[in-house]
């Protein structure tokens, strides 16, 4: 069985979300092919253990950055809601004690 046949067989059994996940990875491989060269593990001289370690170290940084962005977005949205509903304004400020009370400090959503 060829790799393409096996891949097609597996893809046919996956749901849409699972196929999107595989597609995301395939697109990354294709982007690397276009940016660098077609993958050839027999001739590639990179230290894959080192590369994997570097990528693994970067991962939590990006996750933390996403979490920080998400927290800031929630704050901005709650602040905007508080402007239209004065009764919750104090509650929103209490939810984010580390945030400045200065509205100009935070970008609009």
What's the confidence (pLDDT) of residue 5? Answer: 96
d(C-alpha 91, C-alpha 47), whole Å: 53
Confidence of residue 32 (pLDDT cuts 50, 70, 90): very high
CB-based contacts of 103: which residues, under 8 Å, 6+ apart? 79
Q: What is the pTM of this model?
A: 0.55
DSSP state of 104: G
Stretch 71-99: mean pLDDT, rounded? 66
List b or e across 15-38, with b for residues whose CB sees 16 or more CB atoms inside 10 angstroms: eeeeeeeeeeeeeeeeeeeeeeee
In the chain, what are the domain boundaries? 1-45, 47-109
Contact 81, 109 (CB under 8 A): no
Stretch 41-63: mean pLDDT, rounded? 93
What's the confidence (pLDDT) of residue 97? Answer: 61
Confidence of residue 66 (pLDDT cuts 50, 70, 90): confident
């Amino acid at each position: 069985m060829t790799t393409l046949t096996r891949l097609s067989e597996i893809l046919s059994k996956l749901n849409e979300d699972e196929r999107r996940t595989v597609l995301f990875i395939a697109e990354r491989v294709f982007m690397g092919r276009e940016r660098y060269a077609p993958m050839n593990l027999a001739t590639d001289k990179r230290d894959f253990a080192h590369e994997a370690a570097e990528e693994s170290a970067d991962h939590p940084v990006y996750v933390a950055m996403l979490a920080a962005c998400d927290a800031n977005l929630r704050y901005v949205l709650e602040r905007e809601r508080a402007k239209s509903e004065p009764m919750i304004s104090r509650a929103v400020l209490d939810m984010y004690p580390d945030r400045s009370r200065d509205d100009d400090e935070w970008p609009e959503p």
